[in-house]
Amino acid sequence: MEHLDELIAAHALDGLDADAAEAAEQHLAECPQCRMQLAEYRSVAAGLALSVPQAAPPPELRNRILAAVEPVVTAPVVRPAERARSRRWFAAWPRSAAIAVPALAVVVAALLVWNIALRSDINSLHSSLSNDRTATMAGFGNVVAQPSGTVKIFASPSAPPSGKTYEAWVITPAGTALPAGTFSTASNGFTLREQGHNGDVIAVTVEPAGGSPKPTTTPIAEAHI
């Protein structure tokens, strides 16, 4: 009996069209060896799906997959009405499989590589953040202080009044306010030009455009680090 080695992998991933899938099922009903091979492929596919962390794919991933699949052209398939016609269809499959199966393999491999890279990035980020100190500026944003002394403010406040700007300060335990830079938004992170250490207070005030050498208003937000 002729086996369907080229079809089994695609069928395990539900990658066949309706006609091809029906023809494959007819053969599988009579071939224990192909049924066993199909079960093994499905087990491997399920294991791969569970071996990677959950993550939202980037928006451009769909376009990249479609771009990889669009060039694939398969030969037209006539719906099999009897076993003889089904066998003739299987004889034609290797020609189209020579195009379709490699393209499918490229897409699957790309997804696996992307997930492995994503897991590495997540582990690296987790390792980095585990050493950082974070604090909340109530109603304004968050502060992240690194062991090196680098401090960042993450916030998306409304625009400051006309002719005004937000100014960050590092206030030492002795009460000295060190000007640490001006900003209008910090949605991507604003890095203070002064270092911050344990016991310091990070504060934000509204100052005249260009900033001020010392606070002229009461802080609108602050956090201890």
CATH assignment at residue 192: 2.60.40
Same domain, 125 and 138: no
Q: What local confidence, expressed as pLDDT, does residue 50 receive? A: 46
- Of 129, 145, 179, the residue that ends a domain is 129
Same domain, 173 and 79: no
Domain span including residue 162: 133-224
Q: What local confidence, expressed as pLDDT, does residue 196 receive? A: 94
CB 220 within 8 A of CB 205: yes
All residue ranges of the chain with pLDDT < 50 are 50-52, 70-75, 78, 96, 99, 125-129
Tally of structural domains, the chain:
2
Same domain, 117 and 175: no
Same domain, 113 and 20: yes
**Token digits of residue 139:** 């109603």
- Of 77, 99, 129, the residue that ends a domain is 129
CB 153 within 8 A of CB 137: yes
Q: Would you call 64 helix, strand, or coil by DSSP?
A: helix
Q: What local confidence, expressed as pLDDT, does residue 73 receive? A: 46
- Of 129, 159, 184, the residue that ends a domain is 129
Same domain, 18 and 92: yes
Nearest CA to 22 out of 102, 71, 85, 69 is that of 85
- Tell me how far apart the alpha carbons of residues 198 and 204 are, in angstroms, rounded to a whole number: 18
Same domain, 49 and 106: yes
Beta strand extents in 46-138 (DSSP E only)? 133-137
Same domain, 148 and 202: yes
- Per-residue pLDDT tens digits for 55-107: 566 666 656 655 555 444 444 554 555 555 555 555 555 554 554 555 555 55
**Token digits of residue 68:** 């990889």
- The pTM for the full model equals 0.45
